[in-house]
A and B are shown apart, each in its own frame.
Chain A
Amino acid sequence: MIKTVNLGKQYGDFWAVRDLSINLRGGEIYGFLGPNGAGKTTTILMILSILRPTMGHINLFGERLNGSRVEIRSRIGVVSEKQYFYPEMTMREYLDFFGELYQVRNRRQRIGELAERVELANVLDKRIGAFSRGMQQKVGFVRALLHEPELLILDEPVSGLDPMGIRQVRGLIEEENKRGKTVFISSHLLSEIEKLCDRVAIMNNGRLLAEDRMENLVRRLTEESELDIELAEGKPQAVEELEGLDFINGVSIDGKFLRVKVKTDRDYRLDVVQKLISRGHVPVGIQVRSMSFEEAFVTITKENISLLAKVES
């Protein structure tokens, strides 16, 4: 759906984005992460042809972007971090304007339906200038969905929303994804990214550091994970019995709870449980304790770890 090849944007001597190669596949929800100033918004603006790249190129919907292709933008819906409106317009007028711009059929009906979905149907004829930040964000969403785009580009889509609003928007995104829309989300809210995204890309200082599924990222960052196993009866010999296994990095027992450190090259839970059972122990519960995604994100960006090389190898 979106593929950038060595994309870069230079301002004077400063590279806002450099050598960015990402690949967003059709039908997925793709998270685009990075601290402030990483180059996320610049990347989005280049994808939308609002900024011209200094190097590299972009393929959008399988076609290479040369200059501004307005008909391609008709297939994209964009929600920016902050919403900007014509303050003298009502919500209905604003949406009708964009609906007409995108040549949406039955736009009045579509506006009504979408307004219902975001619970703004009762303020359709009110001036947008009087809306709260959260309401404006929802209007932005509705605007982005009006023309049933194939691709949604969301820059901080839940910014300014209360928990109910966040939930509504999350629901919208998932719903639209289920309807076949590809979603590209740029956000700081890792919790939302974790809940929504199939894959993520992490940027820092204009460069791409990682692009993979979240669990893979976490896994690639850590050498081991910890299994917390609850036994029916805590027997110290369980420690010795497990330590002999080659995939076990360490075992300790605390009452009925065994803490087993295993390698992360694959899922060893079944092996551990089978070993315990074969030795007469009765595991009643097992939990995996690994690095959280947030910890992984902070680690990657703070230490500027590039996981791209590991992917290629």
Chain B
Amino acid sequence: MVLEEYAIWILSQMGRVFISLILIVVTIGSGWAQAPVMEEQMVYGLRLFNGKGYASSFCPKREDTIYIIAGSKNVLLPKMTLVYYWPITRKLQAAFKTLDEKVEGTLEIIQDGKVIRNLKRRAYTFYFAGGWYAETSEIILDEKAKEKYGEFKQAMDRYYKLAKEYYDKQQDYRKQMEEFLAKTKERQKSGMTPEQYGQILVPKEPVSPAPPEFYVQEPREEYIVNLPVGRYEIRLHAPDGTIVEGSEKKIVSFTYRRSGKIGYEIIPANRWTMPETSSDPAEIIYLEGRNTLYFRPYIQTEYNHLCYSKLLDPQNEGHSELWRWANIKQIEKGALHLMKDGKVVSKIQEQPYYVHQVPGPELGYTIVGYDKEKSPVRGPSLVGYKVEFEPGKGGHQIQLVNASGKVVPGSLRELRAIDVGKPWELYIASVVLPFVVGAPIFLWRRRKLK
């Protein structure tokens, strides 16, 4: 009985402590309504290669390691700024617009206690072959960066010139249209028949010039870091020889585990701005009802989950024992086979599509085939394989076939339609299963004991 009383006492004390802790935490939590506390820090702005382009982030003081892909060029931008905690994202943010002060010095790369490189700032730019919104970009250094930017500027100058000409032509066109419409009114008033009109020349609308398809950022000068696989340290040596406080960081240069595998970006027609990805052939794509999906196959590369997550943002969490796939390059020129029970039911070609906003007060859009002639200015919204999915029992499969007709390994995925249908079936199974087994056993036992 003594132990029992003691156990009850322990429980009551624990209950009191727990409630007290909850109250403390809630009280503290209510303090979130106040303005965030800003702290001036030395941070590294980061433009790191993520396999296909450059991710933008920063490394605050509390993160001691920067992760980069081995053999790639990465940009480190040491600067003084204000850092604050943003509870909504639960991450630190940098107020670059308030304070963005470059920190001068030489960047030392250290390995095994020895300085292996001393880096100075270099000119660089980012070249987007597909335009400002392109997924992929490449870094160009030094004089070539300036040259490339020069090309872009020339292209932009040409464009501006053509745009001005277009504007002038637009003015003329409007005048011509006004005259044309006035004459048309006169003809209508005069009672002339269409046969009496004679030759009527409709003014031709001028074609607006297409902007350059590529984009080049204005060159800047920062530290370019390119390292083989390994662990390093970096620090910034100020011009006066001292180590800049807060500049010492570790660098982990990592590489991929596997490459060349196939993943899909899947764009549902009903929410095209929120695509999904399927990296693992074991994944199943579950759908509800009829669906229109646009598949964009990619070549994938597998990186360590922790390293890659931290590369995207040093404040991200990751699992060192896990691996994740990153889409590197979109696969073009092939066919997607839609199969049912192993048999091909349709062969789908890759097509460009355009998202057409529904005019008027209604909100919405439709995805239509892209016609360059009709929309010379605008490019396609997406390029992919359009799959019309019909629900049914069992599953469908999709598989990519290359231009030579061979199946691309690792491209198989299963699609299944979920049946939400009758919820009571599950609840009945919950009751029936234990009852069907338990009741007979229970009754048999009771009868035996009687």
Contact = CB atoms under 8 A, between A and B. Distances in A.
Contacts of B449: 88, 90, 126-127
A125 interface: yes
B448 interface: yes
Interface string B419-450: 00000000000000000000000000000110
A72 to B, nearest CB: 34
Interface string B193-235: 0000000000000000000000000000000000000000000
Contacts, number: 6
B interface majority secondary structure: helix
In this complex, the interface size class of chain B, counting residues with CB under 8 Å from chain A, is under 10
A126 B449 CA distance: 6
Nearest to A90: B449
A95 to B, nearest CB: 16
A183 B320 CA distance: 69
- Say which size band chain A's interface belongs to: under 10
Interface string A124-156: 011100000000000000000000000000000
A225 B297 CA distance: 116
Nearest to A126: B449
B444 to A, nearest CB: 13
A125 B449 CA distance: 7
Nearest to B449: A127
Nearest to A88: B449
Contacts of A127: 449
Contacts of A88: 449
A90 B448 CA distance: 9
Contacts of B448: 90, 125
A126 B448 CA distance: 9
Interface string A87-126: 0101000000000000000000000000000000000011
A90 B15 CA distance: 45
Nearest to A129: B449
A274 to B, nearest CB: 71
Contacts of A126: 449
Nearest to A130: B449
A85 to B, nearest CB: 14
Interface string A247-260: 00000000000000
Contacts of A90: 448-449
Interface of A: 88, 90, 125-127
Interface of B: 448-449
6 contacts: A88-B449, A90-B448, A90-B449, A125-B448, A126-B449, A127-B449
Closest 6 pairs between A and B when the two form their complex, measured CB to CB = A127-B449, A90-B449, A125-B448, A90-B448, A126-B449, A88-B449
